[in-house]
């Protein structure tokens, strides 16, 4: 009887230990941190910056969508993260990190994600959460989501109150604005920090000449190409 109880006790301990290990594996996550900056400085609302083109710039809105996260595995297959759309607000710290559950027992080479929202979501009606039109990042089903929104002021802008407004979006051909980024990650890596440098965006803009985009089209598509250049891995 004692031997039986001892055996049962050992089995219970083994089962509890196995469950603990399983739960620990199930909780393995990659935490993605977003660091908005301008020329290496932390981006601050209503703080003055100077671009390489000589424009003085002050920001009041910097928002963008990161969506459709997936991992490329060592065997060259992909593990997709379902419903992984997040709205990043450079001036809201609560939005500057996202945790992705890692696939169990798989070696990972790279993480992929999109800058912007795919057309099928734009056309499929109202959504909730980060995709809720109430967030001010949605035009209409014909035009879709605003993938990147950058607003502020500059003395060089020949506009009312010197405002600049870049609303970059649109999913229809021939000028879609969805862009894909990818970054390498090592096995068992738990944190990835992405630097988003707004200076890179304004390196290619002279605000006296180019200070407003608010509709889909060729210029929005060109600025979407410029937008991806803002992203880099923190060293």
Tens digits of per-residue pLDDT, 26-68? Answer: 458 999 999 999 999 999 998 999 999 999 999 999 999 999 9
Tell me, what's the pLDDT at 124? 73
Quick one: which of 87, 115, 88, 108 has its CA closest to 189?
108
Got the DSSP string for 20-53? HHHHHHHT-EEEEEEEEEETTEEP-TT-EEE-TT
> How far is the C-alpha of 60 from the C-alpha of 139, rounded, in Å?
20
Contact present, 196 and 35 (Cβ < 8 Å): yes
According to DSSP, the residues that pair with 181 across neighbouring strands are 113
What pLDDT was estimated at residue 83? Answer: 86
> Residue 29's closest CA among 99, 121, 113?
99
pLDDT on residue 163: 97
The whole-number average pLDDT for the span 153-179 is 96
Q: How many CA atoms lie within 13 A of 154 on its CB side?
A: 25
Show the CA angle centred on residue 111, arms to residues 108 and 115, nearest 5°: 170
Q: Which residue has the higher pLDDT, 98 or 127?
A: 98
Whether the upstream peptide bond of residue 174 has omega within 30° of 0, thus cis, is yes
Residue 56 CB: number of other CB atoms within 10 A?
14
Sign of CA dihedral 97, 167, 226, 77: positive
Model confidence pLDDT, tens digit, residues 65-113: 999 999 999 999 999 998 899 999 999 999 999 999 988 878 899 999 9
DSSP state at residue 145: E
Instruction: Enter the pTM of the model.
Output: 0.86
């Amino acid at each position: 009887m004692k031997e039986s109880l001892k055996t049962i006790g050992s089995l219970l301990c083994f089962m509890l230990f196995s469950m603990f290990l399983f739960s620990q594996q199930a909780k393995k996550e990659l935490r993605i941190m977003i660091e908005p900056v301008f020329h290496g400085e932390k981006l601050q609302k209503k703080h003055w910056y100077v671009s390489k083109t000589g424009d003085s710039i002050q920001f009041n809105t910097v928002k963008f969508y990161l969506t459709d996260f997936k991992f490329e595995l060592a065997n060259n297959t992909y593990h997709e993260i379902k419903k992984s759309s997040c709205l990043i607000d450079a001036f809201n710290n609560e939005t500057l990190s996202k945790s992705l559950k890692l696939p169990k027992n798989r070696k990972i080479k790279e993480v992929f994600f999109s800058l912007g929202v795919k057309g099928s979501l734009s056309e499929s009606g109202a959504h909730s959460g980060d995709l809720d039109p109430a967030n001010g990042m949605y035009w209409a089903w014909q035009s879709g989501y605003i993938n990147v929104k950058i607003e502020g002021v500059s003395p060089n802008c020949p506009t009312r109150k010197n405002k600049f407004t870049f609303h970059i979006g649109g999913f229809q051909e021939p000028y879609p604005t969805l862009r894909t980024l990818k970054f390498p990650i090592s096995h068992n890596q738990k944190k990835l920090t992405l630097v988003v440098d707004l200076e890179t965006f304004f390196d290619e803009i002279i605000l006296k000449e180019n200070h407003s985009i608010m509709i889909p089209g060729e210029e929005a598509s060109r600025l979407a190409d410029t937008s991806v250049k803002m992203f880099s891995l923190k060293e």
